[in-house]
A and B are shown apart, each in its own frame.
Chain A
Amino acid sequence: MATSTAGRATPAGRPTPAAGRPWTFATRELRFWLTDYRRVWRGSIISSVLGPVLYLTAMGAGLGTLVNRHAAASLGGVTYLAFISPGLLAATAMQTAFGEGMYPVLGSVRWVQNYFAAVASPLRPADVFRGHLMFVTLRLTMNCGIFLAVIAAFGAVRSPLAVLALPVAVLTGLAFAPGLMAWSVTRSRDTSFAVLMRFVMVPLFLFSGTFFPISQLPGWLQPVAYVTPLWHGVALCRSLALGTADLGGAAVHVGYLLVLALAGAAAAQRQYRKRLYE
């Protein structure tokens, strides 16, 4: 491999690389996404508010009136609205992660190719990944924060601990996002995305305890639900919103989500490097 001779001092007026400050580079990539987001933020926020309002009206208030008459016991004695709201919060985090972790990443390598523009500058693939993940985290925080506020406005919060459901929801999103980004950055077409949505996201959405307790699932399916990341997010958000959380259970949920997030991030850094530094 090449031998390194002493580098010359960077001439004045030229950018000085932020050596040893890895997050400085990532922040530069984050700023790209913020500039990009400025174009669409209004529409994006409107849909972030409309989504939960529609869901909570239809499911909580509409369907809920039927459920409350028959099944209140299996919901732990709370209204259906109070039961599903925190579940939907976690599910929204997952949906946001799918939305932000697939098409924008593929677009960045295939259509807009902004990732390639970025790595021609001092930014490295890992900086590009981290900066983009910072933006995804911001989007998760926005969407989940709005969702939580709507839940509170519907009067479906039973405990001050519900505030903690926000970071937990964001963490639920982060259990998905880096892995999805690692996958998407390797793709050259979007055909697999529809498959992932239909056969991964939708089943998780339906069967991870969002709409009904997983004790209602057939016995053989219950262990499957326990290993899905969404169930851990749903269960912890719900126990926080209803004030039934215990420390041990919470630690297991958080630990599980954290491990997935970190494993995804490790995979993403490897895949980003491979794709952008071929």
Chain B
Amino acid sequence: MPPLPEQVPVLPDPTAPDQPDVLVRARGLTKKFGDFTAVDGIDFGITRGEAFGFLGPNGAGKSSTMRMVGCVSPPTSGELVILGRDPVRAGPEIRARLGVVPQENTLDLELTVRENLLVYGRYFGLPRALIRERTTSLLEFVQLSDRAEDQVDPLSGGMKRRLVIARSLINDPEILLLDEPTTGLDPQARHIVWDRLFRLKQRGVTLILTTHYMDEAEQLCDRLVVMDGGRIVAEGSPRQLIEQYSTPEVLELRFDPGDHEQAAEKLAALPDAERQEVLADRVLIYTRDGDQALAAARALGIEPVTSLARRSTLEDVFLRLTGRQLGD
């Protein structure tokens, strides 16, 4: 039999040098603060037009990575190329083409909505008339047109976040960096932000975001890396990651606190259960069919207080990879 032809990759390797559509490329990227290694030699590549996510718990190194990509934190070692240039030497030139939504809003609360955009646009050296023109369309885009002349201070958290997104677009950036775009927002406000970000993606803006919400990563990211302890522990599309690291379905069972451990032991005998995770408040059974697993558990004489069969999520991927929950 002839040898199999070498597998042709569907996408060009985004970490390989000199790919024209690779906007960000990192190899062995490392950031240390004294003895503490925040980012520990990671490799990734981000291509034009994609929405790329860094998913991980607090302290995983996501924000440190974002700050390096934002050219406001020089890497300790490794290689980082953004828009074809070295962030240490060409910081101002690169930043002129980036939009940044930082973790904290950094808005001037005593200025008006419009003044905040004016002040920020001037940092980029944009002419007043252009800033005025863009402000009108950007405020429309984030649904804040009617608040243009209001002070920022009394705006709701969701409105402030949308204003920061409008501000980050004032220089018509090629890449938008979002550090935890919806942390601290209520569910409705989050959905509005997601909707706006989704529209930006449709327009071809490259999005790079960090999040510790798996639903946010699933909603927005074409591709993501899971980070833990400064390292990348997995990479792929949300669907690929779930297929690779989890089962199609998960059965969640809750028991009375006293029965919890004992039930978990009995459940180990369950057929068709690939894996189980015993959490503080529930037992997760990883299986092909959640309802079937529940029936099998009942057949073993196990009666949970509540049960839920659901599809696997990135939360399960993270649990599998790190043994911890994202919120921990």
- Is A124 a contact partner of B122 (Cβ separation < 8 A)? no
Question: Given A5-B84, A123-B92: A15 and B111 within 8 A (CB)?
Answer: no
By beta carbon, the residue of chain B nearest A33 is B119
- Is B73 a contact partner of A278 (Cβ separation < 8 A)? yes
Q: A7 interface residue, CB < 8 Å from B? A: yes
- A31 CA to B97 CA in the complex, in Å? 21
Question: Given A7-B93, A119-B72: A2 and B123 within 8 A (CB)?
Answer: no
- A3 CA to B78 CA in the complex, in Å? 10
- A277 CA to B76 CA in the complex, in Å? 12
- A186 CA to B73 CA in the complex, in Å? 17
- A121 CA to B92 CA in the complex, in Å? 7
Option from A119, A122, A277 in Cβ contact (under 8 Å) with B124: A122
Contact partners of B78 in chain A: CB under 8 A: 2
By beta carbon, the residue of chain B nearest A29 is B123
- Is B83 a contact partner of A15 (Cβ separation < 8 A)? no
Binds A, one of B54-62, B98-106, B138-146: B98-106
- Is A277 a contact partner of B74 (Cβ separation < 8 A)? yes
Q: A69 interface residue, CB < 8 Å from B? A: no
- A269 CA to B122 CA in the complex, in Å? 22
Q: B90 interface residue, CB < 8 Å from A? A: yes
- Is B85 a contact partner of A122 (Cβ separation < 8 A)? no
- Is A114 a contact partner of B108 (Cβ separation < 8 A)? yes
By beta carbon, the residue of chain B nearest A31 is B122
Contact partners of B17 in chain A: CB under 8 A: 5
- A155 CA to B74 CA in the complex, in Å? 57
Option from B91, B96, B110, B120 in Cβ contact (under 8 Å) with A124: B91
Per the 8 Å Cβ criterion, residues 105-148 of B in contact with A are 105-111, 115, 118-120, 122-126
By beta carbon, the residue of chain A nearest B27 is A2
Q: A227 interface residue, CB < 8 Å from B? A: no
Per the 8 Å Cβ criterion, residues 182-237 of B in contact with A are none
Binds B, one of A16-24, A78-86, A164-172, A257-265: A16-24
Q: B242 interface residue, CB < 8 Å from A? A: no
- Is A17 a contact partner of B104 (Cβ separation < 8 A)? no
Contact partners of A29 in chain B: CB under 8 A: 123
Q: How large is the interface on A (under 10, 10 to 19, 20 to 34, 35 or more residues)?
A: 35 or more
Q: A120 interface residue, CB < 8 Å from B? A: yes
- Is B115 a contact partner of A10 (Cβ separation < 8 A)? no
Contact partners of A28 in chain B: CB under 8 A: 122-123, 125
Contact partners of B87 in chain A: CB under 8 A: 2
Contact partners of B270 in chain A: CB under 8 A: none
- Is A116 a contact partner of B122 (Cβ separation < 8 A)? no
- A120 CA to B86 CA in the complex, in Å? 16
By beta carbon, the residue of chain A nearest B126 is A15
Question: Given A5-B81, A13-B172: A32 and B96 within 8 A (CB)?
Answer: no
By beta carbon, the residue of chain A nearest B82 is A2
Contact partners of B98 in chain A: CB under 8 A: 120
Q: A42 interface residue, CB < 8 Å from B? A: no
Contact partners of A24 in chain B: CB under 8 A: 125
Per the 8 Å Cβ criterion, residues 1-49 of A in contact with B are 1-8, 10, 13-19, 24-25, 28-29, 31-32, 35-36, 39
Contact partners of B79 in chain A: CB under 8 A: 1-3
- Is A122 a contact partner of B93 (Cβ separation < 8 A)? yes
Contact partners of A116 in chain B: CB under 8 A: 102, 104, 106
- A5 CA to B82 CA in the complex, in Å? 10
Contact partners of B86 in chain A: CB under 8 A: 1-4
By beta carbon, the residue of chain A nearest B97 is A14
Option from A5, A121, A276 in Cβ contact (under 8 Å) with B18: A5
- Is A10 a contact partner of B93 (Cβ separation < 8 A)? yes
Contact partners of A2 in chain B: CB under 8 A: 75, 78-81, 86-88
Option from B85, B97, B102, B115 in Cβ contact (under 8 Å) with A120: B102
Contact partners of B75 in chain A: CB under 8 A: 1-2
- A1 CA to B73 CA in the complex, in Å? 13
- Is B122 a contact partner of A3 (Cβ separation < 8 A)? no
- Is A113 a contact partner of B93 (Cβ separation < 8 A)? no
Q: B33 interface residue, CB < 8 Å from A? A: yes
- Is B88 a contact partner of A17 (Cβ separation < 8 A)? no
Q: B70 interface residue, CB < 8 Å from A? A: yes
- A28 CA to B88 CA in the complex, in Å? 21
Question: Given A2-B87, A3-B79: A124 and B92 within 8 A (CB)?
Answer: yes
- A150 CA to B56 CA in the complex, in Å? 62
Q: B47 interface residue, CB < 8 Å from A? A: no
Contact partners of B77 in chain A: CB under 8 A: 1
Question: Given A1-B88, A120-B70: A19 and B93 within 8 A (CB)?
Answer: yes
- A123 CA to B72 CA in the complex, in Å? 10
By beta carbon, the residue of chain A nearest B95 is A122
Query: Shortest distance in angstroms between B110's beta carbon and chain A's nearest beta carbon?
Result: 6
Q: A112 interface residue, CB < 8 Å from B? A: yes
Q: B287 interface residue, CB < 8 Å from A? A: no
Instruction: List the 7 shortest-distance A-B pairs measured between CB atoms, nearest first.
Output: A121-B123, A4-B86, A122-B92, A120-B100, A15-B124, A113-B106, A117-B106
Interface contacts beyond A2-B87, A112-B109, A121-B171: sample of 11 additional A-B pairs, CB < 8 Å, sorted by A:
A1-B77, A2-B75, A4-B81, A4-B89, A10-B93, A14-B97, A15-B125, A28-B125, A29-B123, A123-B123, A277-B73
A-B contact pairs, 10 of them (CB 8 A): A2-B88, A6-B84, A113-B106, A120-B72, A120-B100, A122-B125, A123-B92, A276-B72, A277-B72, A277-B74
List A residues at the B interface (Cβ < 8 Å): 1-8, 10, 13-19, 24-25, 28-29, 31-32, 35-36, 39, 112-114, 116-124, 276-278
